[in-house]
Amino acid sequence: MAQYNPKSLHAEEFINHEEILETLKYAEENKHNIELIDSILEKARPQKTATGVHCAGLTHREASVLLACDIPEKIEEMYQLAEEIKLAFYGNRIVMFAPLYLSNYCVNGCVYCPYHAKNRHITRKKLTQEEVAREVIALQDMGHKRLAIEAGEDPVNNPIEYILECINTIYSIKHKNGAIRRVNVNIAATTVENYRKLKDAGIGTYILFQETYHKQSYLKLHPAGPKHDYDYHTEAMDRAMDGGIDDVGLGVLFGLEMYKYEFAGLLMHAEHLEAVHGVGPHTISVPRIKRADDIDPDVFDNGLSDELFAKVIACIRIAVPYTGMIISTRESQQVRERALGLGISQISGASRTSVGGYEEEERPHDSEQFDVSDQRSLDEVVHWLMQLGFIPSFCTACYREGRTGDRFMSLCKNGQILNCCHPNALMTLAEYLVDYASEDTKRVGMELIQEELKKIPRDKVREIAAEHIKDICSSNRRDFRF
């Protein structure tokens, strides 16, 4: 039997089934142990230090106790703590991005995804470089600066060379004042050599969802194709980091397996990355299974209610305080609004989950990967965020200034990252407002920027940021950054 070992490079040792079962048993036994729950909440609280803020985070076992706890006033405390932690590390900034689907050709048999190889009636598409360019221009015309590219696993149609060519095309398009400044990549598990090529192509974060950490369920859900190999898939982040990629993004597809099991597995994966590479996940995503072409989510009987989903998000934020947390347009405006107060720091806006979807006037449904619940335009999403008191940020400065991996984490963990991120967010928001926003959004945004500039603690930084914003408003000068 495999022994639990977070420093091991073997999937079944760092995501250890017995350890998860013991954790869930311990959490169930202690879910009303108020003394223990209070001590866990106290441990997780942000502490002011001489250099900024420190948050201890939680082990998978401690966090599982919080998740199991069903005492209403303790859950309320968790929600307040999650928001406090989010504000301590990320302030009121919300990073904006959009997915870009390159190809839905796929050789896998994943039973929860309409791109599975046996689906004969979905329209299969793969973008040419000219089509990639047109999609990028459509995204730039909305105001996007950061993309997450997606493609099915198909060594013939979507080899690594195709992905690299697409990245090169995306970065090369400068249209009006637009530019995609960061390309994150969400493609199938691959080799160290291929990860090295992605790193050399200038990617931001490499994202790979585990889907489920429960090995038996995983094998059933992935009956055919290279993704069937649980160990190869689960060990992908180690290969990515060995290939020089500093920033990796984790996620599970909630609804496939028991959520408490997934939650523990996800946190164990984060602990493993920290133990082996000294850097935890740059981001954690929380997708829930949704309806799509030939996929009925009701077939999976582990669905999470909105209430439970909110609790999962809050507990992840408390356990892994420094990670960026992502919620997509899979979720409705209402669910996303609630999640923003519980620790989410990145959201997508105006997403199309079909190949070639942005160029079309109407949202195409024939090649969508999943139903989009929040179908508002980017302008509407930006306006909404600002009315809620958030700063929509199009900033990509950390990645381009080399503040990635352990350098980003050390700044983030002591709260210092705020000194760069807050003014950078305001400058990129000003770019968006001047170049793309509707008049009403522009008015609300400019008022917000003036208020937020007053909150920059250092006089020098405040003066420089104000000067750059003035330049942005009066000229075509762009891309200022701290």
Asked whether residue 480 is domain-assigned, the answer is: no
What confidence tier does 380 reach under pLDDT thresholds 50, 70, 90?
very high
- Mark which of 48, 78, 108 sits at the end of a domain: 78
Each residue's pLDDT tens digit, 324-373: 999 998 899 999 999 999 999 999 999 998 999 998 877 655 555 556 78
Phi and psi angles of residue 225, each rounded to the nearest 5 degrees, phi first: 95, 170
For the segment 16-22, the average pLDDT, to the nearest whole number, is 97
The pLDDT assigned to 401 comes to: 80
Closest CA to 472 of 458, 118, 445: 445
Q: Look at 482 and 165; give whichever has higher pLDDT.
A: 165
Asked whether residue 481 is domain-assigned, the answer is: no
Q: Look at 368 and 439; give whichever has higher pLDDT.
A: 439
The pLDDT assigned to 297 comes to: 53
For the segment 207-234, the average pLDDT, to the nearest whole number, is 96
Task: For residues 217 and 349, state if they share a domain.
Answer: yes
| Coil/strand/helix, residue 26 | helix
For the segment 305-315, the average pLDDT, to the nearest whole number, is 95
Task: For residues 343 and 430, state if they share a domain.
Answer: no
Q: Which residues form the domain of 375? A: 88-410
Task: For residues 391 and 433, state if they share a domain.
Answer: no
pLDDT at 392 over 60: yes
Asked whether residue 188 is domain-assigned, the answer is: yes
The pLDDT assigned to 428 comes to: 97
pLDDT at 140 over 50: yes
Asked whether residue 71 is domain-assigned, the answer is: yes
For the segment 66-75, the average pLDDT, to the nearest whole number, is 98
The pLDDT assigned to 170 comes to: 98
Cβ–Cβ under 8 Å, residues 152 and 106: yes
Q: Looking at the 3D structure of the chain, how many domains does it have? A: 3
Facing residues of 346 across strands?
Answer: 95, 326
Task: For residues 231 and 330, state if they share a domain.
Answer: yes
Task: For residues 223 and 266, state if they share a domain.
Answer: yes
pLDDT at 19 over 60: yes
CA distance 416 to 168: 32
What confidence tier does 144 reach under pLDDT thresholds 50, 70, 90?
very high
The pLDDT assigned to 402 comes to: 80
Asked whether residue 1 is domain-assigned, the answer is: no
What pTM value is reported for the model?
A: 0.94
CA distance 153 to 163: 11
Task: For residues 73 and 92, state if they share a domain.
Answer: no
Asked whether residue 278 is domain-assigned, the answer is: yes
Please state whether beta strands 93-103 and 391-393 pair in parallel, antiparallel, or not at all (unpaired): parallel
Phi and psi angles of residue 53, each rounded to the nearest 5 degrees, phi first: -130, 145
Exposed/middle/buried for 465, CB within 10 Å: 0-12, 13-18, 19+?
buried
What confidence tier does 384 reach under pLDDT thresholds 50, 70, 90?
very high
Task: For residues 98 and 47, state if they share a domain.
Answer: no
Asked whether residue 83 is domain-assigned, the answer is: no
276 CB-near residues (< 8 Å, 6+ apart): 6, 7, 9, 238, 241
pLDDT at 468 over 90: yes
What confidence tier does 300 reach under pLDDT thresholds 50, 70, 90?
low
Asked whether residue 5 is domain-assigned, the answer is: no
Share of the chain above pLDDT 70, in %: 93
For the segment 444-456, the average pLDDT, to the nearest whole number, is 96
Task: For residues 61 and 104, state if they share a domain.
Answer: no
Concatenated DSSP letters of 2-48: PPP-TT-SSHHHHS-HHHHHHHHHHHHHTTT-HHHHHHHHHHHS-EE
Structure tokens at 259: 């959520």
What confidence tier does 301 reach under pLDDT thresholds 50, 70, 90?
low
Task: For residues 178 and 218, state if they share a domain.
Answer: yes
Torsion 160-187-229-404 (CA) sign: positive
Phi and psi angles of residue 301, each rounded to the nearest 5 degrees, phi first: -95, 25
pLDDT at 49 over 60: yes
**What is each CA distance from 288 to 256, 278, 302, 342, 351, in whole angstroms?**
9, 29, 10, 17, 16
CA distance 224 to 109: 5
Task: For residues 284 and 227, state if they share a domain.
Answer: yes
Mean pLDDT of the chain: 92
The pLDDT assigned to 295 comes to: 46
What confidence tier does 303 reach under pLDDT thresholds 50, 70, 90?
confident
**What is each CA distance from 281 to 45, 180, 220, 399, 426, in whole angstroms?**
20, 23, 27, 15, 26
pLDDT at 289 over 90: no
pLDDT at 174 over 90: yes
Task: For residues 35 and 137, state if they share a domain.
Answer: no
* Buried/exposed code over 144-181 (b: 16+ C-beta within 10 A; e: otherwise): bbbbbbbbbbbeebbebebbbebbebbbebeeebbbbb
The pLDDT assigned to 1 comes to: 75
Task: For residues 258 and 310, state if they share a domain.
Answer: yes
CATH of residue 213's domain is 3.20.20.70
The pLDDT assigned to 285 comes to: 97
- Mark which of 31, 47, 78 sits at the end of a domain: 78
CA distance 283 to 285: 7
What confidence tier does 135 reach under pLDDT thresholds 50, 70, 90?
very high
- Mark which of 390, 410, 430 sits at the end of a domain: 410
DSSP letter assigned to residue 303: P
The pLDDT assigned to 364 comes to: 59
**What is each CA distance from 269 to 5, 8, 273, 334, in whole angstroms?**
11, 11, 6, 30
